[in-house]
Amino acid sequence: MSERIVLAYSGGLDTSVAIGWIAEATGAEVIAVAVDVGQGGESLETIRQRALDCGAVEAYVADAREEFAAEYCMPALKANALYMDAYPLVSALSRPVIVKHLVAAARQFGATTVSHGCTGKGNDQVRFEVGIQTLGPDLKCIAPVRDLALTRDKAIAFAEQKNLPIVTTKKNPFSIDANVWGRAVETGFLEDIWNGPTPDVYEYTSDPASAPAPDEVIITFKEGVPVAIDGKAVTPLQAIEEMNRRAGAQGIGRIDIVEDRLVGIKSREIYEAPGAMALMAAHRELENVTVEREQARFKKTVGQRWTELVYDGQWFSPLKQSLDAFIGDTQKYVSGDIRMTLDKGRPVVTGRRSDSSLYDFNLATYDTGDSFDQSMARGFIELFGMSSKVASGRDQRLAEGK
């Protein structure tokens, strides 16, 4: 049997051309792997048939939307994962689930190599190859754009020469990556960081300035995961999709950032993540009610490191797994309801309730019924400020002796 190469296949121009390009360059048979993580567009069956029509000997397709939402997006929600305090890991989260299916396909079809369509200057090449090396250490990796000189003009010429069943165009202003957690847009005129985004950049969100009347929503969580919206039970996927629709209509989740890529380049990125940003705002507020102070402070540090690891392609690393265990423990009591108003680009929390709340009305109130013993405060302050008081006395004494 000929050598076989598994290709991460999107159904677009570049990966469709890559099927024949890889075959000609290596002499190997190509198995196309398409994974649906909620990117929308064509059906998996249409994509599967196109892969076969473009020369793939096999086509592996997987509807991974529920898996992606439950096993990848929900851990990010629990971690409150925002890279550079802004980016909810839209693309970074989808890569490990795609890697998982690439390696599974390689095992199923006896492939020795896995291929992806990334360039040599982006983050995704690292995410794909580190993940593949971890799950399939015996597998080799190649990237046609990076390793086999497959440029876009060559891809168009190859598609026309071979009469491949795909639409080719030299005028595509943006590079877009989308899934149920959000949408990433880059390149074109956005590479001039003085240029503002134009309305055609956005698809998941409406203009906040022309949003409809404010939308009130109640999100119910159980151990950090949304389980109902306005009293109706939802799966993680349904929760994200519903909040994408409702928060997107209010223009929530637009992000314009100059981002520090793993390879050392600063890159201007536009993201849309209405569901992710609204759910994260609700989740953070419920944590404020239910997570103990010192645990919450330390979780912010853990969450930031978790986010960096996932951004850097270390989803399957031992450290990330250890951090998962800590974050999971912090979510034990993150259950209850958050009421939010979605209004003109902002998710505003207006109510909180939880059976596991640490908020004690009688301790917090300043009115009749106050159970806080204020006589304890004087001694507490004396002890709390003792070390600073002693150090200040030392400083003044030595200063006077000069």
Contacts of 259-265 with CB under 8 Å at 24 or more apart are 259/83, 259/84, 259/87, 260/84, 261/121, 261/122, 261/123, 262/123, 262/126, 262/311, 262/312, 262/313, 263/121, 263/122, 263/123, 263/126, 265/121
Instruction: Establish whether 136 is an annotated binding residue.
Output: no
117 carries a ligand binding annotation: yes
Alpha-carbon distance 391 to 394, whole Å?
A: 5
What is the C-alpha separation between 218 and 214, in angstroms, rounded?
Answer: 13
Q: Which helix (H) or strand (E) holds 231?
A: none
Q: Is 259 annotated as a binding residue?
A: yes
For residue 12, say whether it is annotated as part of any ligand binding site: yes
Query: 10 Å Cβ neighbour count for 276?
Result: 30
Judge whether 230 is annotated as a binding position: no
Burial class (CB in 10 A: 0-12, 13-18, 19+), 111: buried
Active-site residue among 124, 183, 206, 343? 124
323 is in an annotated binding site: no
304 and 219 in contact (C-beta within 8 Å)? no
Please name the residue that has the structure tokens 């150090």.
Answer: 391
Check the annotation: does 123 bind a ligand: yes
To the question of whether residue 10 is assigned a binding role by annotation, the answer is yes
Q: Is 124 left (phi over 0), alpha (psi -120 to 50) or beta?
A: alpha
9 is in an annotated binding site: yes
User: Does 72 belong to an annotated binding site?
Assistant: no
147 is catalytic: no
Q: Who's near 148: CB < 8 A, 6+ residues apart?
A: 21, 22, 25, 142
Q: Is 95 a catalytic residue?
A: yes
Among residues 175, 322, 371, 392, which one is catalytic? 175
Q: Which two tokens stand for residue 15?
A: 């990966």
First and final CA of the chain: distance in angstroms?
88
Of 4, 48, 65, 95, catalytic: 95
Distance separating alpha carbons of residues 354 and 359, to the nearest angstrom:
9
Choice among 14, 36, 312, 343 that is catalytic:
14
Is 14 a known active-site residue?
yes
Residue 203 assigned ligand-binding role: no
Q: Which helix (H) or strand (E) holds 32?
A: strand 29-36
Query: How many degrees, rounded to 5, is the angle at CA 227 between CA 71 and CA 86?
Result: 60
Which residues fall in the annotated binding site for L-aspartate?
119, 123-124
Which residues fall in the annotated binding site for ATP?
8-16, 117
Which residues fall in the annotated binding site?
8-16, 87, 117, 119, 123-124, 127, 175, 259, 271
Catalytic positions, written as ranges: 14, 95, 124, 175
Which residues fall in the annotated binding site for L-citrulline?
87, 123, 127, 175, 259, 271
